[in-house]
Each structure stands twice: as C-alpha cells, then as structure tokens.
Amino acid sequence: MRKCSIQLAFNDSVSEIARVVPYLSSYKHIIIEAGTPLLKKEGMGAIREIRRYWRGQICADLKINDGAEGEVLMAKEAGATSVTAMGNSSKETLQIFVDSCKKLGIISVIDMMNNPNPLKTLWKSNVTPDVVFIHRGRDEENAFGKILQYKDVAKIKGKWDIEVGAAGGIDEKELQSAIFNSADIVVVNIVQPGSPWKGIVFDENFNTSLQRFLRFVE
C-alpha cells in the first residue's frame, strides 16, 4: 500500500503533545495539528508551546472564515508551518488567505467541511492553495450515511497540482481507505478514553495503537 503523511490532531491539551512527541522522533512525515478546540482554549500560546517540543511541521487549524491576513500572520508568528481556512468562506477571503500564505511562506490549507462541491469552490474563488482537505465534521462522524467523499480527491488532483488530505472520523480502516484513494495527508485525532469520536485513544495502549497507524507514514 502507498504511503502518506499523517497529521496527528490534538484537541485537548499541549501536555498530551509533550508526552507523544518521543514516540515520533524517527518519523519524518508527521504533522502535529493544534486542533480548533485547543486553539479556542489556549490561543496562539498553544502553537508556541508545541514548538518547544516539536521541530517538525505544525498545522494551526484556525478554520479561518474572515480576516484572513491577520490570522495567517498570527499563525506564522506563533510558529505554525501550515494554517487552515474554510472553503465556504467568501472568495475574497480565500484569495487573501492564499496570497497571505504565499507572502509569509506558510502552507495554505482549504478545508472543505460541509462543502458539497470543492471543485466549484476553487474555480469560483480562482485560488490554488497548497492543500485541500475533504472533511467529515466531528458531529457527523456517527451519523448514518455521512461518508468521506473520496471521489473528490481524484477530481481535485485531476485539475490542480496540489496535495489533498482527508479528515474526520479516521480510524485504522478509514486510514487505509484514504490512502487507497490517493490522499496525501490523513488527519487522525488523538482522543481521550471514552470519547465518542474516532482516532487513536490516549490510554495505556497508546503506543501500540500509534504504531499501527504510523506504519503507513511515508
């Protein structure tokens, strides 16, 4: 099976990241994500704290919807290497977002959660980000019939020379499906024991579970 990059999303605390980083030192294609809930709790300080432990890539999952220039700058100054904006933002916001990312040297990621037509969004906005994520929302993970639209991966790659990622309820089986469908980046949540959300459970078996996922890393 082909390999990919794995983006480990932390949504609860920076202390979890400090405990997980030692398991990741031998892997090059790992991205640490400061998830939206973590950023809402801790602000840009979370990115700065992560940078103390992790020298690799850090994604600030800000889900920018407006005020793109200022928020991209905040993420960059805090130490992030990539930042997200929502695909349902205005075309003006998406244009400013991509332009600001290029100017500041940070990877632009457009998140297509709740967006039924990613191609139309990119065409109408006339933007070419570095990465596009197809994304099933957290509240949709356990809803019947809410599946990741992997057909969009091939469609996007057929039109633009960009990376495409998959996010939302990724377990080990879904990870393999994402890789099979040519996803370049797969976002996997680090979740607490008893959480209804899918991902790698942060418990006494964490390292064993993590290694099962990391065998797919490029």
Q: Is the pLDDT of residue 60 over 70?
A: yes
Confidence at residue 106, expressed as pLDDT on a 0 to 100 scale: 98
Confidence at residue 144, expressed as pLDDT on a 0 to 100 scale: 53
Retrieve residue 202's tokens.
Answer: 């942060």
Alpha-carbon distances of 210 from 4, 87, 115, 204, rounded to whole Å = 15, 30, 30, 11
CATH superfamily for 5-214 is Aldolase class I (3.20.20.70)
Determine the residue type at 143.
Answer: A
Q: Is the pLDDT of residue 19 over 80?
A: yes
Higher pLDDT, 217 or 111: 111
Give the pLDDT confidence of 68-84 residue by residue, as tens digits. 999 999 999 999 999 99
Give the pLDDT confidence of 134-192 residue by residue, as tens digits. 988 776 666 655 678 899 999 999 999 999 999 988 999 999 999 999 999 999 999 99
Please name the residues in contact with 212: beta carbons below 8 A apart, sequence gap of 6 or more.
172
Higher pLDDT, 24 or 91: 91
Give the whole-number percent of the chain exceeding pLDDT 70.
94
Confidence at residue 143, expressed as pLDDT on a 0 to 100 scale: 60
Q: Is the pLDDT of residue 27 over 80?
A: no
Alpha-carbon distances of 14 from 8, 39, 103, 116, 200, rounded to whole Å = 13, 10, 29, 33, 16
